[in-house]
Amino acid sequence: MLFGRTQKNPITLADKGVVAWKYATCGYCSTGCSIEVGLNAQGKPVASRGVADADVNRGKLCLKGLAEHEIFAASGRGTKPLMRGHWHEDWQATDWDAATLKVRDEFRRIQAQYGRDSVAVISTGQLLTEEFYTLGKLTRGLIGTNNYDGNTTLCMASAVSGYKRSFGSDGPPGSYEDFSHTDCLIAWGSNLPEQHPIIYYRLKDAQEQRKFPLIVVDPRVTMLAQMADIHLPLTPGTDVVLQNAMMHVIFKEGLEDKRYIEANCNGLEALKAEVAQWDPAKAAKVCGIDEETIRVVARLFAKAPAAMQIWTMGINQSTHGSDGVVGINNLALITGNMGKPGGTSLSITGQCNAMGTREWSSCSGLPNYRYLEDAQHRKEIGEAWNVDPEFFPKKVGLKQTDIFKVMETGQIKGLWIVATNPMSSLPNTASVRRAMQQLEFCVVQDCYEDTECNQYAHVYLPAGTWAEKDGVMTNTERRINRVTPLAVPPGQAKPDLWIFNKIAEKFNEDGRVNFPEKASDIFLEMARLSQGRFCDISGMTHELLEQRRGVQWPYTAEQAARGELPPVGGKRLYTQDATFRFPDGKAKLIALPFVVNYEVPDEQYPFWLNTGRLVEHWHTRTKTGKVGNNNKFSPIPFVELNPDTAAEMGIRRGEYVRLVSRRSDAVVMAQLTQRVRRNMVFLPFHFHDCANRLTIALLDPYSRQPAFKQGAVRVEKIADQHEAAILSKEMRKF
Ligand SMILES: Nc1nc2c(c(=O)[nH]1)N[C@H]1C(S)=C(S)[C@@H](COP(=O)(O)OP(=O)(O)OC[C@H]3O[C@@H](n4cnc5c(=O)[nH]c(N)nc54)[C@H](O)[C@@H]3O)O[C@H]1N2
Ligand SMILES: Nc1nc2c(c(=O)[nH]1)N[C@H]1C(S)=C(S)[C@@H](COP(=O)(O)OP(=O)(O)OC[C@H]3O[C@@H](n4cnc5c(=O)[nH]c(N)nc54)[C@H](O)[C@@H]3O)O[C@H]1N2
Ligand code: SF4
Ligand SMILES: [Mo]
C-alpha cells in the first residue's frame, strides 16, 4: 500500500498477509474502542485496526490497541496447569482435573479448619462480564466466603462509593457525547491523553468545534494540563478544599440553580454551613490555588449553561477519594448539571471491564447492584441460582486492601488470585510479601505464568486472555461491547469461563446449581435478572451488541419489543426530576469537612511522592513489557524530578538516584522535567519492586481505596553509579 509522496521516498505499509478481520473490543482501558484483529492464512493474529463505524473510537486506536494482537504470542504465556507442595519448590506439570480438585480440597480443608472466611478470592476489572457473573455465582453460591473482592478497590472504589453516597446508586450518569454539548469542562486528576487517548480525542474534537473552556486540576503538568485553558496545580490531596471554596463562591454570589436543588436535593443547609467556612482566601492557603483563580473557575463553572466534570485516579486514590467524588457531585447538583446534555459528573473508569465487575461480579453484594444486606435481594438470587438464601452473608465482607491486611496477621490461609498482580500493584510491597508468604494455599489464575504473584502460588491455572475468549465488557459510558473469540489459548490454557466452570463442577457435586457453558446463555440469564432494574440489559443480546458496536444500558426488553433501536435512553441517567436512587428520589448534598489524614512531606522526607501511569505501559507490564512497540519507550523504571532541584542536589539527567520512604527504598533513573514542581517526584508504578515498595497503605474510610497519590520520600544522590545500575536491575528480579 502506498501513501502520500509517491514521487519521493513513498511510505509503504508492510503487507502482513491478512486474510480476515475479526471484531472485538480493546482489552486495555475502559474507553471501549472497537477493534478488528487481522488474521493471516494460518489464522495467526498479525495486525490490529480501529473500527470506523463504532461511535466510541470512530476508526482510531491508541498505541496499545494498535499492537494488541502481539499479546497472544508474547513470552511467558502459561500453557499447562502447574502444582507444587510449597512455593519454595519447583513446579510440576499437572492436568486440569488434578489442579481443580486440589483447589477444591485445599479450600474445603482450610474452611473446615479456620472458618468459611479464611479463604479469600481476589478478582479484577479485566475479565469478561459473563466470567465475572460465573465467578460470583461460584464464590457466593458454593464456596461461600465473604472475603471476595477485586483490584477495583485500588481503582474505582471511591467513584462507586461517592456515587452511592450522592445518588443512592453506582452508575456513571453521562456519555462521551456530553463533550459535544458542554460549555465548560473540569477534569480532576485525570490525564486523558496518556491514559484514555481515545476519550481525549473525543474531547478534543468536541472542543475544537465549540471552544468550551477546559480546566485541569492536577498537581503535575500532565499532557492534559498542557492543553488546558486553566491549569490548577493544587497541593496534593486538597481537592475537597478547592471544591468547598468553589461552592462557597457559588452560594455567596447566588449562582446556584435554586429550582434544581429544590426539586432534586436534600441536605442543602448542612452543605451551605460547611462551605461557608471555606472562603477562597482561607482555602488558598490549604490548596495552593490563589483566591482570585478559585473565584474565576467557580463562576465559569456555575454560569455555563451546561457544565461537566470528569475525574480519574487523582481523586479516587486518596484518603479523601470518596469525599472528592461527593464534592464533584455536590458541585454538579447545586448548579443543576445532572442528566442533561453536556451537564454531568462522569467518572472515567480504569480497566476495560471495571464496570462489568461492578455490575455483575457480586464482589460488593449480589448481581446487578443487588445488596447482601437486603433480604429480598438474597431471596431473588437464591431462587435464581438454587442456593439457600441463608447461605449468603447478610453483610458485605472485607475489601481487597483490608483482606491483605488481615492476611498479613494470619487470618486468611487460602487465596485465589484471578487476573490481578497484587505483588506489584498493592501499596507497601513488603507487607504484601509477608501476607503472601504465610498462606497455606494460593492459586493464581493468569494468562502469563511469569507474574510476580505466581512466585507464591501452589497451583497455577493458565488462562486465555482478551479475545481468546467470548463475552462482553462495559465501558466508562455504560456501553456494553462484544469481545468475540478470534484466537485460541496456547497449549492447555483455557478461557477463564471454562476454568470457573471446571472448578464449579468440583464444588457442585450434587449438580444443584446451574452453570451454563456458553457465554451467550449466561448473558441471557443475566439479562433476565436485570429486567425492571436500574441497570436493565434485558433488551440486549450478543448479536445486537456486535451489530450496534455496543449499546449503553439501560436497554429494556420492552424497548426491544417495540422495535426501538438503541441508543434510546441509555445515554444519560437521572434525566427527570427526582429520579435519584434514594426512596424520595432526591440526591444528597453532603457536607465535607477536611482534615489532613495522609502522609505529607517533612524535613526527613521532603518530597511529595506522586505515582501513576505512562501511555505506553499497562499496569504491571505483564503485557506491554513484552510488546516491543510499547516497551521500547520506557524499558526501565525512572522518576520525574524537577531540574532546579536536581541542579541543587548535583544530580544529572540519566543518573540513578535512591528514593527512600518510611516503608522502603527504590533505585531508579532520574528524568529531569518541569512537569513536576520542586518538591515533588512522579514515579510510574508499572515496574515491579519500585513505586509500591515506597507507597503507604493509608485507606479512604468509605471506599478502602489506597492513597497511591500522596506519600513522602527523600531523594538521595548515589555516588557509585555503576553499583546503582546493577542494583536497579537486581531490584526488578524476584
Ligand atoms: N497507558 C495506560 N492507560 C491506562 C492505564 C495504564 O496502566 N496505562 N490504566 C487504566 C486504569 S486501570 C486507570 S485507573 C486509569 C488511570 O488514569 P489516570 O487517573 O488519568 O492516571 P494516573 O497517572 O494514575 O493519575 C492521574 C493524575 O492524578 C494526578 N494527581 C496526583 N495527586 C493528585 C491530587 O491530589 N489531586 C488531583 N486532582 N490529581 C492528582 C497525577 O499527577 C496524575 O497526573 O488509566 C487507565 N488507562
Ligand atoms: N503506586 C500505584 N499503584 C497502583 C496504582 C497507581 O496509580 N499507583 N493504580 C492502581 C490501579 S488503578 C489498578 S487498576 C491496579 C492494577 O493492578 P493489577 O490488576 O495488579 O495490574 P495488571 O498488571 O493489570 O494485572 C492483571 C493481571 O491479570 C493478567 N491477565 C490479563 N488478562 C487476563 C485474562 O483475561 N485472564 C486472566 N486469568 N488473567 C489475565 C495479567 O497478566 C496480569 O498479571 O494497580 C493499582 N496500583
Ligand atoms: S484508548 Fe483504551 S480502549 Fe482505546 S485503543 Fe487505547 S487502550 Fe484500547
Ligand atoms: Mo485502575
> In whole numbers, what is the pLDDT of the chain averaged over residues?
96
Tell how far the Cα of 620 is from the centroid of ligand 2, in angstroms: 6
Residue 534: pLDDT over 80: yes
Predicted pLDDT of residue 413 = 98
Nearest to 556 by CA among 574, 542, 569: 569
Q: What is the Cα–Cα distance from 328 to 188, expressed in whole angstroms?
A: 9
Could you tell me which CATH number the domain at 607-731 has?
2.40.40.20
- Ligand lying nearest the CA atom of residue 126: 2
Residue 568: pLDDT over 90: no
What is the CB < 6 Å shell around ligand 3? Answer: 26, 28-29, 31-33, 57, 61-62, 64-65, 196-198
Predicted pLDDT of residue 3 = 59
CB 112 within 8 A of CB 104: no
Within the chain, which residue ranges are assigned CATH 3.30.200.210?
A: 20-73
Predicted pLDDT of residue 447 = 98
| Side-chain half-sphere exposure of 304, counting CA atoms within 13 A | 28
Any idea which of 194-198, 214-218, 294-298, 627-631 has the lowest mean pLDDT? 627-631
Residue 1: pLDDT over 60: no
Any idea which of 287-291, 345-349, 560-564 has the lowest mean pLDDT? 560-564
Q: What is the Cα–Cα distance from 192 to 312, expressed in whole angstroms?
A: 9
In 10 A of CB 226, how many CB atoms? 11
Predicted pLDDT of residue 727 = 79
Predicted pLDDT of residue 466 = 98
Query: For the chain, what's the residue count?
Result: 734
What is the CB < 6 Å shell around ligand 1? Answer: 29, 155, 188-191, 194-196, 217-220, 222, 236-237, 239, 312-315, 318, 350-351, 610, 612-613, 615, 617-619, 709
Q: What is the Cα–Cα distance from 122 to 147, expressed in whole angstroms?
A: 8
Residue 729: pLDDT over 80: no
Region 561-583: what's the mean pLDDT?
91
> SS3 helix, strand, coil % of the chain, rounded to 5?
35, 20, 45
Predicted pLDDT of residue 5 = 62
State the DSSP code for 370: B
Strand partners, 291: none
> Domain 82-153+353-517 maps to which CATH number in 3.30.460.80, 3.40.50.12780, 3.40.50.2300, 3.40.50.740?
3.40.50.740
Which residue of 126, 191, 363, 708 sits with most ligand 2 atoms within 8 Å of its CB, as the best mutation to test the pocket? 126
Within the chain, which residue ranges are assigned CATH 3.40.50.740?
A: 82-153+353-517
Q: Name the pLDDT band for 726 (thresholds 50, 70, 90).
A: confident
Looking from the CA of residue 622, the nearest atom of ligand 2 is 42
Q: What is the Cα–Cα distance from 680 to 601, expressed in whole angstroms?
A: 9
Nearest to 241 by CA among 196, 311, 289, 204: 289
Distant-in-sequence, close-in-space partners of 576: CB < 8 Å, separation ≥ 6: 339
Within the chain, which residue ranges are assigned CATH 3.40.228.10?
A: 157-347
Residue 350: pLDDT over 60: yes
Looking from the CA of residue 623, the nearest atom of ligand 2 is 42
For domain 20-73, say whether CATH 3.90.25.10 is its number: no
CB 608 within 8 A of CB 590: no
Which residue type is seen at 188? Answer: W
Q: Name the pLDDT band for 9 (thresholds 50, 70, 90).
A: confident
Tell how far the Cα of 617 is from the centroid of ligand 1, in angstroms: 12
| pLDDT (tens digit per residue) in 353-409 | 999 999 999 999 999 999 999 999 999 999 999 999 999 999 999 999 999 999 999
Distant-in-sequence, close-in-space partners of 61: CB < 8 Å, separation ≥ 6: 26, 33, 35, 48, 49, 50, 198
Q: How far is CA 240 from the centre of its chain?
A: 21
Tell how far the Cα of 114 is from the centroid of ligand 4, in angstroms: 33
Q: What is the Cα–Cα distance from 51 to 166, expressed in whole angstroms?
A: 37
Tell how far the Cα of 385 is from the centroid of ligand 3, in angstroms: 35
Which residue type is seen at 428? Answer: N
Nearest to 475 by CA among 541, 581, 570, 565: 570
What do you get for the CA distance between the two ends of the chain, in Å?
45
Predicted pLDDT of residue 201 = 97
Q: What is the Cα–Cα distance from 459 to 444, expressed in whole angstroms?
A: 6
- Ligand lying nearest the CA atom of residue 64: 3
Q: What is the Cα–Cα distance from 232 to 242, expressed in whole angstroms?
A: 10
Tell how far the Cα of 154 is from the centroid of ligand 4, in angstroms: 6
The answer to whether the pTM exceeds 0.95 is yes
Residue 555: pLDDT over 70: yes
| pLDDT (tens digit per residue) in 476-489 | 999 999 999 999 99
- Phi then psi for residue 431, to 5 deg, are -75, -30
Q: Pairing between strand 471-474 and 45-50?
A: unpaired
Distant-in-sequence, close-in-space partners of 662: CB < 8 Å, separation ≥ 6: 599, 605, 696, 712
In 10 A of CB 75, how many CB atoms? 8
CB 495 within 8 A of CB 470: yes
Region 492-515: what's the mean pLDDT?
97
State the DSSP code for 340: B
Nearest to 515 by CA among 386, 652, 601, 393: 386
Looking from the CA of residue 32, the nearest atom of ligand 3 is 3
Tell how far the Cα of 28 is from the centroid of ligand 4, in angstroms: 11
Any idea which of 186-190, 597-601, 686-690, 729-733 has the lowest mean pLDDT? 729-733
- At the topology level, CATH places domain 157-347 in Dimethylsulfoxide Reductase; domain 2 (3.40.228)
Within the chain, which residue ranges are assigned CATH 2.40.40.20?
A: 607-731
Region 28-32: what's the mean pLDDT?
98
In 10 A of CB 169, how many CB atoms? 17
Strand partners, 681: 609
Percent of the residues in the chain that have a pLDDT greater than 70, as a whole number: 98
Tell how far the Cα of 686 is from the centroid of ligand 2, in angstroms: 9
Which residue type is seen at 499? Answer: I
Looking from the CA of residue 28, the nearest atom of ligand 3 is 7
Distant-in-sequence, close-in-space partners of 540: CB < 8 Å, separation ≥ 6: 480, 523, 527, 551, 553, 555, 560
Q: Name the pLDDT band for 734 (thresholds 50, 70, 90).
A: very low
